[in-house]
Amino acid sequence: MDADEGAVEWRAGVRTVLHAAAATGAAQLCLMEQWAEPDAGAPTHTHFEVEEAILVIEGVADFWTDGEHRAVGTGEAILLPAESWHGFRNTGEGILHTVAVFPAAAPPVEYENEPGVVYEIGGAGTVRRDAHRTVRETGER
């Protein structure tokens, strides 16, 4: 799939396509594909009790998990543990292309710079941050 075909810009320089999530009919899985421009990525965040696995299709990124940094390049994967605070930044000169998998149809996410606000990726809530994230109605994780 091309980065511009059906992709939503989540933040400056990061486009995402949800292939499976609660909003697309999935019951137990969220699968998304992302393309990040150089120096773009995801700020520090957590998915609480949900693990996340990310495969780098193309490019290289600096991933951090609970303060530990690791370079992950083309063909490599990283497992981000449940309860961890993590994020990444494209450190290459070209587009970073990744695929992420969660064992939850609407994984929660809370950003370090937005404490107390919990979103659901691929959630079906009515209060939306963007086309792929809704605000968790109860505010609970």
pLDDT digits (tens), the chain, 141 positions:
555 567 989 889 999 999 999 988 999 999 999 999 999 999 999 999 999 999 999 999 999 999 999 999 999 999 999 999 999 999 999 999 999 999 999 999 999 999 999 989 888 777 777 667 767 765 444
- How high is the pLDDT of residue 6? 77
Nearest to 38 by CA among 57, 13, 62, 20: 13
- How high is the pLDDT of residue 138? 58
pTM (predicted TM-score) = 0.90
- How high is the pLDDT of residue 127? 79
- How high is the pLDDT of residue 131? 66
- How high is the pLDDT of residue 43? 96
- How high is the pLDDT of residue 123? 83
Angle at 116 between CA 125 and CA 91, to 5 degrees: 90
Q: Compute CA 48 distance to the chain's CA centroid, rounded to the nearest angstrom.
A: 13
- How high is the pLDDT of residue 125? 75
- How high is the pLDDT of residue 100? 98
Domains parsed from the chain with CATH numbers: 8-135 (2.60.120.10)
**CA 109 – CA 100 distance, rounded (Å):** 14
- How high is the pLDDT of residue 133? 78
Residue 49's alpha-carbon distances to 4, 26, 78, 97, in angstroms, are 32, 19, 17, 25
